[in-house]
Amino acid sequence: MKPIVKNGIGVFYPQGFLDGNSCNSFLSMDDLAATSSLKVDMILVSLKKVVFFNKNGLNSFIKLFVKVRQTNHATVGFCDYDTKKYNAIMVFYKDDMNFSLFKTLDIAYLFSSSFKNQSKNILLYSEDKSQRTAMAIELHDNGHNPVITLTQEEFREKASKEDAYDEIIDATFLGQMGQKIATRVTGNAIIYSISSFLDAEIGNKFNIEYHNNSLNVGFRLFIFDAYKVISMNVHALNFFSRLSTSAAEYNATICFVGMTFEKTPEVFKENLEDSGIMFFEQMDDILQDKDLLKELGASSASNVKSKRIINKKTVTELPRFIDATVATIEMMTNSKAVKQSAKVQNISIDDKTDRIASSIGYYGDMDGMVILVFPKQIAKKACELLIGEETDDIEMILDTLAELVNIVGGKIKTLLSDERISVDITLPRTYQDVDGLLEVIENKKGVQVDLSFDNDKFLFFLTR
Amino acid sequence: MITKTLINEYINKIPPTPKVLKETIALLDAGELTKAAKIAQEDLALARYLKELVNKPIYGFTNEVHDVSQIFAILGVSSSQQTVYNYMTTLLSPSKWVLFKLNARVFHELQAKLSKRWEQILDHLNIEDKNISNSITLLPASIIISEALFCKKIDDVNLLRSTKNLDYNTILTRLCGIGLFDICEQISVKWEMPQEIAQIIQASSGLKPSDDEKINSLGKWMHLLLFYELSQPIFIEVGLNDFVDFQVEYVGDIYEEFATLMEIS
């Protein structure tokens, strides 16, 4: 069994009965190894479709959790359960709860890094005072606004108010949380929260995939919230220097806020400044200064000075990118997708109304970005297989479009690997309107291909 | 990926019930065990299948049973008929499994386990009805249909399923408006099986509850039994645990009774 990865969380979905007989069969050695090497924030096991489990039944997943924590420090645990299952797990592992419990997958997302799920108002209750505090801190670090309730009565009363909160958390337990660095997005800046002693482990804790993805999709300002940092050693110094150098290729800026050098050599600051990192005392010194934000590249998501042009290698492999897109659309819609025209040009979208878009980057032997632009109704049609129901919920449509472009990315990866070209794909990003997309890719030359299925037109754009 | 045309082609290719099986079932229906055995022996593959199936540990025979007439005599009318229907279902199975890591032995094992436990359930529910007893035999056809329709699209299916938790029944229903259990129903019609069998199979999907209380209740038992078996190591390892969605809520009201019967603790 393999986990389904979405928004940085890998989830297993076992079904039926989990007991001592079945537990070891869900995960082969290959599954264990593959899961441990996933670059995700969390690995969870959904208990939604499990009707019975005992402690032996959960133990194979606990073994997986241990292995995952040893190799990639991700948060591990169970999700999607009712109160009865929650209480059972608490009884089974009361003295040894190293994993987390999230009542729903949506609650788990609140504790993970994601482009979405920011600034949610969250009602929070746990009988355990230390749990309440731990959850509130994690949520706050992830950019949310937690409201803590101290008693069950208070929780019930507040929870009964309709639409008062975006999310309500109870029957949730934070075990050893992932040591990944908390991430939040503010406008066009990405804020990473770092704390304590920074050493060589920073390389494991920092989600470089997410960071590269952010660069690829157009973010140009990265702020390290370093108020809680006590000190850093030379390994961490080297890590941040390298990060800054690689960010320079995208004309991106890295800043540190609130970092003191009482227990860190002052010369480290000079070294970091030499590599391009800027230091500020307060977060508001950056976020409230519009001129500075503009200067640092966070007034919009683009502002790339050194534009990278589409190269021969990309053009040579273009048919594979188009094939991947066409094959995916055909698979999802059961209709023939047709290429209509292809031109090397800046992206050109004649009618911008009611258009939504999704992009996915790839990097490795080749790098670049695939963008799909759909009229909203056509996107819904293309995503019918994944959505499965009539909806006008734009969040759901965008979410599904991201899944679709993720499948396109997976297909591209496979087709290129047939040609012995090795690439990895980034997380997909969606755009609710064309303007948001144009901020990222305007003035970038690429290959634009007009495609259609069932006479419904959509646009494919490949750029670097 | 998979179209209605492909499904129709698949159904059209399914042969009608072979003459020998038709006669065997009819004779068993009339209680003519000896005559039925004589006819069944004409089909060597059927005779071999019957022998292999009833000698599985779950049937609990201490000595190996060889002869078809002996098999029918031991099993009785209802179980004999059920076993012949099980054989009919295997006629649909591929020579080589691709989508699932199955083989004939493991598939027969699943058939045997489902059949024996279904008998246990019917005993518990005090139901003595040949059609209801036989209904379990069509359930594994849903696995064969998944294999047949998706095996050539295995890469696409894997890519799709790595992105979203979709079972084969949902994929098929969303693409073509027809699900695995609908196809099972069509097969039952083609094989001239009693209508009740198709109704129970549809209810056992957990997605189309029957208005008939009895059929619906049997559908619940069958749905839960399917996932009880698909939670066994041998079937998890071949990739069957999540081939269709388990509807936990659908079986909520019979779970405790089922757990007691199967001695789950």
Question: Tens digit of pLDDT for each residue in A118-172?
Answer: 688 999 999 988 899 989 988 887 788 999 999 999 999 999 998 899 999 999 9
Query: With contact defined as beta carbons under 8 Å apart, do B196 and B215 qualify?
Result: yes
As given in the structure block, the two tokens for residue A20 are 């001592």
The count of domains in chain B is: 2
Encode pLDDT of A366-375 as tens digits: 888 899 999 9
**Where is A369: in which H helix or E strand?**
strand A368-375
pLDDT of A116: 57
Task: Read off the pLDDT band of A333 (50, 70, 90).
Answer: confident
Residue A339: φ, ψ to 5°: -85, 130
Q: Choose one of B90, B111, B142: the last residue of a domain.
A: B90
When CB atoms are compared, the residue of A22, A388, A414 closest to B174 is A388
Mean pLDDT of chain A: 86
Judged by a CB distance cut-off of 8 A, whether residue B245 touches chain A is: yes
Surface of A (329-358) touching B: CB under 8 A:
330-331, 334
Task: Read off the pLDDT band of A307 (50, 70, 90).
Answer: low
Kindly report which listed range (A11-20, A210-219, B101-110) carries the lowest average pLDDT score: A210-219
Judged by a CB distance cut-off of 8 A, whether residue B57 touches chain A is: no
A46 DSSP β-pair partners: A79
Judged by a CB distance cut-off of 8 A, whether residue B231 touches chain A is: yes
Burial string for B88-121 (b: 16+ CB within 10 Å, else e) reads bbbbbbeeebebbebeeebbbbbbbbbbbbbeeb
pLDDT of B53: 87
Question: Would the CB atoms of A21 and B170 count as touching at under 8 Å?
Answer: no
pLDDT surpassing 90 at residue B144 = yes
Residues B246, B116 share a domain: yes
pLDDT surpassing 50 at residue A294 = yes
Encode pLDDT of A396-448 as tens digits: 898 899 899 999 999 999 889 988 899 888 778 888 888 888 877 777 888 99
Residues B73, B106 share a domain: no
Query: With contact defined as beta carbons under 8 Å apart, do B73 and B124 qualify?
Result: no
Question: Would the CB atoms of A22 and B228 count as touching at under 8 Å?
Answer: no
As given in the structure block, the two tokens for residue B48 are 């071999």
Spell out the long-range contacts of B12-20 with Cβ–Cβ below 8 A and sequence spacing 24 or more: B14/B92, B14/B187, B14/B190, B15/B91, B16/B190, B16/B191, B16/B192, B17/B88, B17/B191, B17/B192, B18/B43, B18/B91, B20/B46
Place of tokens 């690995």: A43
Encode pLDDT of A72-90 as tens digits: 778 899 999 999 999 999 9
Percent above pLDDT 70 for chain B: 100
Surface of A (370-399) touching B: CB under 8 A:
384-386, 388
pLDDT of A300: 52
CA–CA separation, A132 and A141 (whole Å): 14
Interface predicted TM-score (ipTM): 0.90
Residues B166, B64 share a domain: no
Residues B185, B103 share a domain: yes
Identify all chain A residues contacting B260, using CB atoms and an 8 Å cutoff: none
Place of tokens 């025979």: B61
pLDDT surpassing 80 at residue A181 = no
pLDDT of A390: 82
Residues B222, B132 share a domain: yes
Residues B197, B229 share a domain: yes
Q: What is the DSSP letter of A173?
A: B
Question: Would the CB atoms of A1 and B236 count as touching at under 8 Å?
Answer: yes
pTM: 0.83
Judged by a CB distance cut-off of 8 A, whether residue B242 touches chain A is: yes
Judged by a CB distance cut-off of 8 A, whether residue B131 touches chain A is: no
What number is the average pLDDT over the span B226-240?
Answer: 95
Side chain identity at residue B121, one-letter code: I
Q: Choose one of B68, B90, B112: the last residue of a domain.
A: B90
Q: What is the DSSP letter of A17?
A: E
Query: With contact defined as beta carbons under 8 Å apart, do B70 and B59 qualify?
Result: no
Residues B217, B128 share a domain: yes
Question: How near does any CA of chain A get to the CA of B18, in Å?
Answer: 35
pLDDT surpassing 70 at residue A209 = yes
* For testing contact with chain B, the best of A12, A22, A391 (most B CBs within 10 A): A22
Side chain identity at residue A102, one-letter code: F
Judged by a CB distance cut-off of 8 A, whether residue A16 touches chain B is: yes
Query: With contact defined as beta carbons under 8 Å apart, do A138 and A172 qualify?
Result: no
Length of chain A equals 464
CA–CA separation, A410 and A379 (whole Å): 19
Question: Strand, coil or helix: what is B70?
Answer: helix
* Domain extent for B27: 19-90
A446 DSSP β-pair partners: A345, A463
Q: Choose one of B67, B90, B113: the last residue of a domain.
A: B90
What number is the average pLDDT over the span A259-276?
Answer: 93
Residues B83, B10 share a domain: no
pLDDT of A303: 43
